[in-house]
Chains A and B, each alone.
Chain A
């Protein structure tokens, strides 16, 4: 079983048959009142609430995840961090050069 299922959905004694669920278009997940509703995301940014362990396990098995972090484009974020540092570095360099020029004129 996918290790993420236990991590995201919690422990359960059930042994789900995902193939049977997938092959039955009329399958309905019965809500479990004792199960705290969880929010899951997929790579397209879609969001779903799951109301039972089995429903959660089924979606996690299909690649859904629990953290919004998984939706973040890390490369994009890294790029802007690097851009900030490089721009700051260049600005400081230019400021130092200008200050040096001023001092030498004096």
Chain B
């Protein structure tokens, strides 16, 4: 069936009368351009074996032009061939492929899920709300898309497919229920984002479980009520509607429009997805097979690296990897690193996948350190090396450093019996590391640190009309920030956040304690976040309401467009999940989350393994956008709920024994 799914779609529309495709080069471009929707993809591939011309999806294709060559993109460097893909067929083919892969999870004891049909039906209605709320995104992905329901067979087909997919998923889920979490790491191989839809397979499917759960649980119904109340607060802010926001690499988990319907949809889908996934965790985490989970971590990390290398090897491999793994964007076409010396491979974010590789190594090496032996066989050792290679190429400094710090902590905690020595070691290291960092790296002075952040923010603000002094320096270069604030014409150009931080920088008490601006800068500098956080500060211009309550779950567009800056094209993310969720949920959401996490850390402080895993994620989400990606989000939710796994173990065993199992 899987082979059928891989080959059959590209045989569609393969009429015998079709003309044979010529090899694509400069002389045959004319032939391709005048024969749109004529050459079949298989013919094209056969004629263009070993060609380096990129193959890209033509997302707006009609059904009859699916899998045909629908256009040529010509630039000095390359000639790209556009293969017809269609919104309806993508939904069917990609869902079928992923459902088949999901069905490969071994069967466990059956869990009887109630209200399957109604959950699938409500999930389908939610999908309809999504289609209508993000019309422009879909019009850009289908020439015939219309939100009008009358005689609209395109929408009817999409709805019936989603209903069928949800029904099938829930049915497959019932029989594999207690085994799904063991195979969770594979979400880093199958990302599950649809080619022509702003949807993710896992989000939609787990949301249907969440709907089912909400229909049967009182506390979830109350939580839904709270979300709907928050939604009312978010809706009020959608006076200035944004019809299109290019979601690019966060496709499937971020809204492409900003209107009351899209705010409602993303609030509901986020709630139901989280509820569904948490339901699975709560019911099955106690049956987690930690050995199998560890092996699957190694395999999925290793396979992800192998597929990344394969997809960089050729145009066909690159296209098929993108399509069948549901990647948010095309994989890297080369093995060379790009910005920041990072190589993302097939992942949409080098940071996100780097965090995953580091997590794999933390679990596997943490276990080996504790056990003083590595019990896994040779294939798993090889997969381990692939993970190390992936982490090295992802160049995620925060993930690597947190990995080393936490592995060191595991070693100390489980190998040095004296509590006094352990405390002494931790205290001395907490002072020595910053000291050596300060002594041997080129850290600027405290004043310069604060100025760097402010300067980065001012750079992206529309403030170009400055007089220059005799040395050609502007007020920004001369650090006269307050003067910039005081100029009336700059009032609208400077974001509230930047305004606030400049005032803090200038007017804070001189009491030898760092002010807020300096504190943020001091954190940002060593983790290489001065520039990107500077951009965030320059762009983030919240009203009091959006500062407190945010602009809605998975809604970045208001943050992105409401305040005009020089960085309003392309996708420049805040580079901190904390900042992203500040935009989504405001201070209320971020503070509630941190209160919850701190409460859990204090309550389960005796569960060393749980504390270490949670700290690993906390250290990383501060500087990375990983929680904007579905797979990283799922891993994070899973990790912070591991206390339920260890809690069960603690009732019978000592801490040391529990760690032996992990």
- Number of A-B pairs whose CB atoms are under 8 Å? 48
Identify which of residues 25-80 in chain B touch chain A, using a CB-to-CB cut-off of 8 Å.
Answer: 31, 34-35, 38, 62-64
How far apart sit A82 and B156, CA to CA, in the bound complex (Å)? 10
Contact A3 B34 (CB under 8 A): yes
Contact residue among A2, A85, A93 (Cβ-Cβ distance under 8 Å from B34): A2
What separation, in Å, do the CA atoms of A1 and B35 have in the docked complex? 11
Complex partner residue of A74 from B38, B63, B156, B161, CB under 8 angstroms: B63
Given A7-B19, A74-B62, A74-B63, decide whether A79 and B157 contact each other with a Cβ distance below 8 A. yes
Number of interface residues of B (CB under 8 A): 23
Q: Which residues of A, 58-79, contact B by the 8 Å Cβ criterion?
A: 69-70, 73-76, 78-79
Interface assignment of A83: CB less than 8 Å from any CB of chain B:
yes
Does B449 count as interface, using CB distance less than 8 angstroms? no
Q: How far is the CB of B346 from chain A (nearest CB, A)?
A: 30
Is there contact, CB below 8 Å, between A79 and B164? no
Given A2-B34, A3-B34, A89-B167, A83 and B160 contact (CB-CB distance below 8 Å)? yes
Task: Give, as a whole number of angstroms, the nearest-CB distance from B164 to chain A.
Answer: 5
Q: Which residues of A contact B365 (CB under 8 A)?
A: none
Whether B34 lies near A78 (C-beta < 8 A) is no
Tell me, yes or no, whether B163 is within 8 Å of chain A by CB. yes
Beta-carbon contact of A78 and B157 below 8 Å: yes
Contact partner, A3, options B35, B153, B163, Cβ 8 Å = B35
Closest to B86 in A: A74
Q: Point out the residues of chain B lying under 8 angstroms from A73, CB to CB.
A: 153
A90 to B120, CA, bound (A): 12
B144 at interface (Cβ–Cβ under 8 A)?
yes
Contacts of B153 in A (CB 8 A): 73, 75-76, 78-79
Contacting residues, chain A, for B117 (C-beta < 8 A):
90
A82 touches B64 (CB 8 A): no
Chain A binding surface SS class: helix
Chain A: CB-nearest residue to B152 = A75
Contact of A79 among B19, B160, B168, B171 (CB under 8 A): B160
Q: Which residues of A lie under 8 Å from residue B157 when comparing CB positions? A: 75, 78-79, 82
Tell me the smallest distance from the CB of B273 to a CB of chain A, in Å: 23
CA distance A22 to B312 in the complex (A): 51
Q: Does A49 contact B (CB under 8 A)?
A: no
> A74 to B86, alpha carbons, bound, how many Å?
11
Shortest A90–chain B CB gap in Å is: 7
Please encode chain A, from 35 to 74, with 1 for each CB lying within 8 Å of some chain B CB and 0 for all others.
0000000000000000000000000000000000110011
Contact for B160 among A2, A3, A82, CB less than 8 A: A82
Inside 8 A of B64's CB, which chain A residues have their CB? Answer: 69-70, 74
User: Is B154 on the interface with A (CB-CB < 8 A)?
Assistant: yes
B88 within 8 A of A: yes
Task: Report if A91 contacts B (CB, 8 A).
Answer: no
| Closest B residue to A74 using CB positions | B63
A-B contact pairs, 23 of them (CB 8 A): A2-B34, A3-B31, A3-B34, A3-B35, A3-B38, A7-B38, A70-B64, A73-B153, A74-B62, A74-B64, A75-B156, A78-B88, A78-B157, A79-B157, A79-B160, A82-B157, A82-B160, A82-B161, A82-B164, A83-B160, A89-B168, A90-B117, A93-B167
